[in-house]
């Protein structure tokens, strides 16, 4: 696991995987290009990439500041064949630790109702439901969660 640029080829490969998975689950998906890479630049964010021994991208995720002390997890994704290896949990823990070191006191995120594996991961890591913080979101699909760091 290492910091990576949002436009890194491995990150981009996984962004397309997430996009395709969301489209198949919900019939639509946010465009990964809607999030500028600069939003993940330290010290106001971080993007991580996990690769296997052969350099194949397994998972990725990032955090960015939403406010002075509130950080947001974005673009978390683990390849389906790597989901039993705790890759997502390790990414999440490292993102939380980094955001906390940079002064964040809370973390929030949004995921889809059909993404039961992600919802289970976030709940086991202490995230609780909150009101949607993104205007115009479909409340039948999107779930917002938060955690005090």
What is the pLDDT confidence band of residue 137, given thresholds at 50, 70 and 90? confident
CATH superfamily, domain 2-148, is Gcn5-related N-acetyltransferase (GNAT) (3.40.630.30)
Question: Alpha-carbon distance 60 to 57, whole Å?
Answer: 8
The whole-number pLDDT of residue 122 equals 97
Give pLDDT tens digits for 61-100.
999 999 989 999 999 989 888 888 899 999 999 999 999 9
Residue 26's region, left for phi above 0, alpha for psi from -120 to 50, else beta, is alpha
Question: Alpha-carbon distance 124 to 110, whole Å?
Answer: 16
Report the percent of the chain where pLDDT is more than 70.
100
Question: Alpha-carbon distance 47 to 3, whole Å?
Answer: 6
Q: Residue 48 above 90 pLDDT? A: yes
Report the percent of the chain where pLDDT is more than 90.
57
Scored b (16 or more CB within 10 A) or e, 87-100 reads: bbebbbebbbebbe
The DSSP 8-state label assigned to residue 40 in this structure reads G
């Amino acid at each position: 696991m290492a910091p990576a640029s949002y436009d890194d080829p491995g990150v981009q490969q996984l962004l397309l995987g997430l996009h395709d998975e969301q489209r198949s689950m919900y019939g639509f998906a946010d465009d990964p290009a809607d999030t500028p890479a600069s939003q993940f630049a330290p010290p106001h964010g971080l993007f991580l990439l996990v690769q296997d021994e052969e350099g194949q991208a397994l998972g990725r995720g990032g955090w960015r500041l939403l406010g002075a002390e509130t950080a947001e997890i974005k673009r978390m994704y683990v390849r389906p064949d790597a989901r039993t290896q705790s890759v997502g949990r390790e990414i999440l823990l490292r993102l939380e630790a980094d955001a906390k070191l940079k002064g964040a006191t809370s973390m929030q995120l949004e995921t889809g109702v059909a993404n039961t594996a992600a919802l289970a991961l976030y709940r086991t890591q202490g995230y609780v439901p909150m009101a949607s913080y993104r205007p115009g979101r479909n409340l039948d699909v999107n779930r917002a969660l938060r955690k005090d760091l």
